[in-house]
Amino acid sequence: MQYRAENLHIVPVFGPKALDDSPRIGHIHVTVDDAPWHWADASGEPLIIVGLPVGPHKVLIELVDANHETLDSAVVNFVVPKQFSRPKKK
């Protein structure tokens, strides 16, 4: 999943002192399917999520500051389709 943040530079800098930096810096928190945990990503690269079972899924992406306070969030809903096999050629 590609994402873009405006007015926030995605970098691996954390803690309260980083809140004073300009331009503002932060990272994202990612939660899959309402899991009770999330992971932080500060790479600025697209998210690659693998191994999900067939069916509907939800990914919550939270844009957070260097002190992990949420600035904005978005939910991406999608369906992993059932795989099909191609007919064998005779």
| DSSP at 83 | P
Tens digit of each residue's pLDDT, the chain (90 residues): 998 888 888 988 887 777 777 778 899 999 999 999 999 999 989 999 999 999 999 999 999 988 889 999 999 999 999 876 666 676
Q: How many CB atoms lie within 10 A of CB 11?
A: 15
End-to-end CA distance of the chain: 39
Q: Residue ranges per domain, the chain?
A: 9-80
Q: Would you mind telling me the total number of residues written for the chain in this entry?
A: 90
Model pTM score:
0.82
Residue type, 34: D
The CA distance from 26 to 40, in Å, is 10
